[in-house]
Chain A
Amino acid sequence: MNTNPDETVLARWLEDELEGAELAAFEQTISGRADLHAQQTVVRAMRKDLAELIPAVEEPAYPDFFNSRVGKSIREQAARPAASRAGRRSWENWWMPATAVAGMAAAFWLGTKTTDRAELAGSPPPARPVVAQPGIYTPERGVDAEWFSSDDAGATVIVLKGLDAIPDNMDFSQTVGLQTGEQGTAGMATTTEGGVRQ
């Protein structure tokens, strides 16, 4: 038969957390256990020594300097994020979506033109890259737009190079007002401008 007391209750008893009937009942169950009573005596003595010998409060060295450095760090951080956050938001909210949408619109427009010329020539267009002019179609330097189109494959692929990855948590609804219906491609350009104005 297992005569060991419940560990949870034992733990509470050792911490002097049992009271009233619960305490009486538990002490009855361990009445013959001198080892547990001895353990409780040791635990009480250790708790007392820990409280008395280990410092609960200890001033850090150079306490005034400690405070002033905390204050200085807080003031520096308060100034720094304001500038960097403003800059980052400006980039995220304006240039990234604007660059992406302008690049895509330009590539789409170029694709339309190329297809028209190919049809006029009476021969199917080969798949070839067209390099968009970043100075004209993308407001951000170093961004190149290429598109690949093939009627045979029935596919058009637009590749934008040089853009930073768009963060997953970016809320486009705050920067781009979607338009629907007949506005089509013209709507995209208008949408971009409207979004940028926000």
Chain B
Amino acid sequence: MGSVGPVVLDEDVTDPADDARLVALAQGGDMRSYDALVTRHRGRIFAMIRNMIHQEAEAWDLAQEVFIKAWQALPRFEAKARFSTWLYRIAHNVVYDWARKKRIEGVGEFNDEVFERDRIDPGSMTTPDTGEAPDAAMARGELREKIEAALGKLTPEHREVVLLKDVQGLAYKEIAKVVGTSIGTVMSRLFYARQKLQIMLKHEYESR
């Protein structure tokens, strides 16, 4: 821990350099640094999980589990990948373990039934405030609702790559690491996911 200087955080909370410093301190057992890492990444991890399963309370618990598992695995983290990518990988495993458990408990098959019991309220406080006119804002809200409904009808595998690529902004290589597959498979999943979305959202985009 002595070789690692005090952490002055960059304003960009996703700056990998800050993550690397905090990770080094946390690997030395510094809980305050790990707490800072949780603060920096909880929003993205929670959003990703919530967008996957659409159940807020469960997403809260699963996001907790991600950070607890990450702490346990932290000594093995070698910084070959970005810390955030590593967290997405853990989140992927946690969500799929949860879905498998739900299937075993008889809630439903390992498909969208498990992921789709609740819908996100499009008027919730997380809706981006774009400063638009009320009509435009309403139209955007409706579009968001339709996009979320369409995403919800994709398979979890397809939905995950779309969310990681378009919403979280990961590169193909990073997505491949997160979902544990090849870049070719990621591209293929994206291709078919987009085709399905295009069919489901035909009326929204045909008129443009």
A contact set with B: CB distance below 8 Å = 7-8, 10-12, 14-15, 39, 41-43, 45-47, 49-61, 63, 66-67, 69-71, 73-75, 77
Contacts and interface: CB of A to CB of B under 8 A. Distances in A.
B46 A60 contact: yes
Q: Identify the 4 closest CB pairs spanning chains A and B, nearest first.
A: A58-B47, A50-B166, A11-B191, A57-B43
Contacts of B67: 70
Contact of B191 (A7, A51, A55): A7
Q: How large is the interface on B (under 10, 10 to 19, 20 to 34, 35 or more residues)?
A: 35 or more
Nearest to A46: B197
B94 interface: no
B60 interface: yes
A46 B201 contact: yes
B166 A39 contact: no
B168 interface: yes
Given A53-B147, A54-B148, A8 B184 contact: yes
Contacts of B43: 57-60
B114 interface: no
B166 A51 contact: yes
Nearest to B150: A46
A74 B68 contact: yes
A39 B191 contact: no
Contacts of A73: 64, 68
Contacts of B47: 55-58
Interface of B: 31, 34-35, 38-39, 42-44, 46-47, 50-51, 56, 59-60, 63-64, 67-68, 71-72, 126-128, 130, 140, 143-144, 147-148, 151, 162-163, 166-169, 184, 187-188, 190-191, 194, 197-198, 201, 205, 208
A73 B63 CA distance: 13
Contact of B205 (A11, A42, A75): A42
A59 B46 contact: yes
B190 A11 contact: yes
Contacts of A14: 191, 194
Contacts of A39: 198
Given A55-B128, A56-B47, 9 more contacts: A46-B194, A46-B201, A49-B143, A51-B167, A54-B147, A59-B42, A60-B59, A66-B38, A70-B71
A41 B148 CA distance: 20
Contact of A66 (B51, B56, B63, B188): B63
Contacts of A51: 166-167, 169
Contacts of A15: 187, 190
Contacts of B198: 39, 42-43, 46
Nearest to B51: A54
Nearest to A50: B166
B166 A47 contact: yes
A74 B31 contact: yes
Given A14-B194, A53-B128, A67 B187 contact: no
